């Protein structure tokens, strides 16, 4: 059984105009893009940490593929150049406490008592949340320390809190209450800290090897480095080089910005540290990060959750995620470019595709899928970066286990194929969110969804924003009706000035007779 959403878009159409553009013209435009990328990224720094020519080649190719004609190709190209010239990446910054701190010092072996005492009271080096937690442990009132440890014990209830025998004896200083905590509790504390604070806090515990080398969770975010790419690269590189290969990772959160080495850090986390959860984000003001299949292998029996933002994913990467990640249950793709014809997984339960560019017709074949979200919240008229916005056809297969489906993405045509009479395709579906596209063709898509969703309880309809294309009139074709015997709640999301609302409510109430009232929420 299949549902085909044909979004049209710029990738289709005649290709004759492409053959008329000479290679030297494309090469010259790649050169212009490369220069613009250099000026936007680091005009005064020789160390770029990324191959800008490769970035320019991929960007030009993307524009070339999605453009509908030569005029559109030139428009998209120069719009992107204008965006790069007006964006000043060197001005990106965030408040933090690390500007004047040499990160190299945090990898040194700290053993002196006076240095230990100095670091334990220097909370200005730490993130505010981390400093608050450590103040609670180091403060003089014993009751506060006991309360902090009690809270941590509750967090770890059910876990192994017995000593392993490898820990060194805690410090005898009455003011040092943190060293008496078990390693699992300390790791729990560290799981809420940025990676820099994990390294710094490890200086409080006189253990060998340092606790940061076995921390099960790493949160490495360039925002914590005041967007200094050189310092961030040096820190992350040292962190992975000095971490023991035998130490596994539960979670890696990596927020990077135009650093090619990030692909090796992701690869090491999967290959050496058997990471269970990966959350990778390339700064969304920069070009999409290319997940090089030669450097990153997503083949892992341990990987359970993958979240990727602002990346380019090719077919071979999708093949590994689909066929070689036997435990993968959660996949989230955001602001990314999908070059794959298929997402096929026998284990996937949650799939989110948000604000993504789909270059080819995408087949989603996930028999165990429980929740599906496919949406685009961007407006092409409101931002310059998303000039590549387009949606190709998306084919959904085997959705009998899906309980929640969210498909508000604008599309121009919907077709239902291979529907088996007497066998509803959405047999388990209880919650459904659709966009205005389901009202096209005189309500035929919506009627078909409701016909094949016998257990549906909640229906949300999201009408178009005012900045989108012309609204379509609402009219129900003769002979088309729908019943939703289990439907309990209908919510319509629309603009305050939506003049089609009375007609839509009347049509829904006349057909879905189990619904007595329709809620309306305005944008």
What is the reported pLDDT for 86? 78
What is the reported pLDDT for 523? 80
State the maximum Cα–Cα separation within the chain, in Å, rounded to a whole number: 85
What is the reported pLDDT for 207? 73
Which SS3 state, helix, strand or coil, does residue 348 take? Answer: coil
Contact yes or no for 456/428 (Cβ under 8 A): no
Contacts of residue 92, Cβ cutoff 8 Å, sequence gap at least 6: 227, 283, 285
What is the reported pLDDT for 101? 36
Contacts of residue 155, Cβ cutoff 8 Å, sequence gap at least 6: 188
157 burial type by CB count under 10 A (0-12 exposed, 13-18 middle, 19+ buried)? exposed
Q: In Å, what is the CA distance from 146 to each residue of 129, 153, 173, 269, 451?
A: 19, 10, 16, 36, 59
> Cα separation of 126 and 115, whole Å?
16
- Number of residues in the chain: 523
Q: What angle do CA 35, 38, 39 make, to 5 degrees?
A: 90
What is the reported pLDDT for 84? 86
Mutual orientation of helices 128-138 and 142-155 as an angle, nearest 10°?
Answer: 120
User: Residue-wise pLDDT tens for the chain (523 aa)?
Assistant: 455 555 444 444 455 899 999 999 999 999 999 999 998 887 656 567 899 999 999 999 999 988 889 999 999 999 999 888 876 555 544 444 333 334 444 444 433 333 333 333 344 455 555 555 445 444 444 444 444 444 444 434 444 444 455 544 444 455 566 777 787 888 888 888 899 888 888 877 777 778 888 889 999 999 999 889 999 999 999 999 888 776 789 999 999 999 999 999 999 999 999 999 999 999 988 999 999 999 999 999 999 999 999 999 999 999 999 889 999 999 999 999 998 778 889 899 999 999 988 887 788 888 899 999 988 877 655 554 545 555 566 777 778 899 999 988 765 555 555 555 567 788 899 999 998 888 877 888 888 888 888 899 999 999 875 544 556 666 665 656 677 788 999 999 998 888 888 888 888 888 888 888 899 998 8
> Cα separation of 270 and 260, whole Å?
17
Contact yes or no for 256/224 (Cβ under 8 A): no
Q: Which 8-state DSSP code applies to residue 170?
A: P
What is the reported pLDDT for 7? 46
Helix/strand/coil percent split, the chain, to 5: 35, 20, 45
Contact yes or no for 439/472 (Cβ under 8 A): yes
DSSP labels for 230-277? HHHHHHHHHHHHSS-TTS--SEEEEEESS-TTHHHHHHHHHHTT--SE
pTM here?
0.80
What is the reported pLDDT for 213? 84
164 burial type by CB count under 10 A (0-12 exposed, 13-18 middle, 19+ buried)? exposed
Contacts of residue 17, Cβ cutoff 8 Å, sequence gap at least 6: 69, 70, 73
Contact yes or no for 205/188 (Cβ under 8 A): no
> Cα separation of 431 and 449, whole Å?
12
């Amino acid at each position: 059984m299949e549902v085909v959403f044909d979004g049209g878009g710029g990738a289709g159409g005649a290709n004759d105009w492409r053959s008329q553009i000479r290679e030297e013209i494309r090469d010259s435009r790649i050169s212009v893009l490369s220069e613009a990328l250099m000026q936007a990224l680091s005009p005064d720094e020789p160390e770029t940490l990324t191959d800008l020519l490769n970035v320019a080649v991929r960007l030009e190719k993307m524009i070339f593929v999605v453009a509908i004609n030569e005029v559109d190709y030139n428009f998209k190209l120069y719009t992107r150049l204008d965006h790069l010239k007006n964006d000043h990446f060197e001005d990106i910054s965030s408040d933090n406490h690390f500007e004047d701190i040499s990160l190299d010092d945090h990898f040194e072996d700290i053993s002196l008592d006076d240095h230990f005492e100095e670091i334990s009271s220097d909370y200005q080096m730490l993130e505010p949340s981390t400093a608050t937690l450590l103040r609670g442990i180091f403060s003089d009132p014993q009751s506060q320390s006991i309360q902090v440890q009690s809270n941590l014990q509750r967090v770890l209830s059910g876990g192994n809190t017995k000593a392993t025998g490898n820990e060194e004896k805690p410090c005898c200083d009455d003011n040092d209450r943190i060293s008496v905590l078990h390693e699992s509790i300390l790791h729990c504390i560290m799981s809420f800290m940025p990676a820099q604070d994990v390294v710094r806090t490890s200086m409080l515990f006189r253990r060998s090897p340092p606790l940061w080398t076995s921390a099960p969770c790493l949160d490495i975010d360039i925002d914590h480095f005041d967007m200094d790419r050189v310092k961030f690269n040096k820190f992350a590189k040292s962190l992975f080089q000095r971490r023991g290969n035998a130490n596994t990772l539960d979670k890696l959160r990596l927020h990077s910005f135009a650093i090619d080495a990030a692909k090796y850090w992701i690869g090491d986390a999967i290959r050496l540290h058997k990471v269970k959860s990966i959350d990778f984000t390339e700064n969304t003001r920069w070009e999409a990060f290319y997940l090089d299949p030669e450097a990153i292998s997503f083949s892992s029996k341990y990987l359970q959750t993958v979240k990727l933002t602002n990346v380019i994913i090719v077919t071979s990467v999708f093949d590994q995620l689909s066929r070689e990640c036997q435990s993968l249950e959660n996949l989230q793709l955001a602001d990314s470019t999908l070059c794959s014809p298929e997402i096929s997984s026998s284990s996937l339960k949650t799939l989110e595709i948000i604000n993504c560019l789909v270059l080819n017709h995408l087949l989603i074949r996930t028999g165990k899928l429980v929740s599906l979200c496919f949406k685009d919240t961007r407006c092409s008229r409101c931002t310059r970066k998303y000039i590549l916005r387009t949606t190709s056809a998306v084919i959904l297969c085997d959705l009998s286990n899906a309980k929640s489906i969210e498909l508000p993405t604008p599309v121009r045509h919907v077709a239902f194929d291979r529907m088996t009479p007497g066998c509803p395709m959405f047999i388990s579906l209880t919650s459904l969110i659709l966009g205005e596209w389901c009202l096209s063709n005189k309500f035929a898509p919506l009627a078909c969804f409701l016909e094949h969703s016998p257990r549906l309880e909640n229906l949300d309809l999201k009408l178009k924003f005012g900045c989108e294309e012309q609204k379509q009139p609402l009219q129900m074709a003769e002979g088309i009706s729908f019943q939703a015997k289990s439907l309990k709640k209908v919510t319509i999301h629309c603009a305050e000035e939506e003049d089609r609302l009375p007609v839509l409510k009347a049509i829904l109430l006349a057909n879905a007779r189990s619904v007595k009232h329709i809620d309306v929420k305005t944008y």
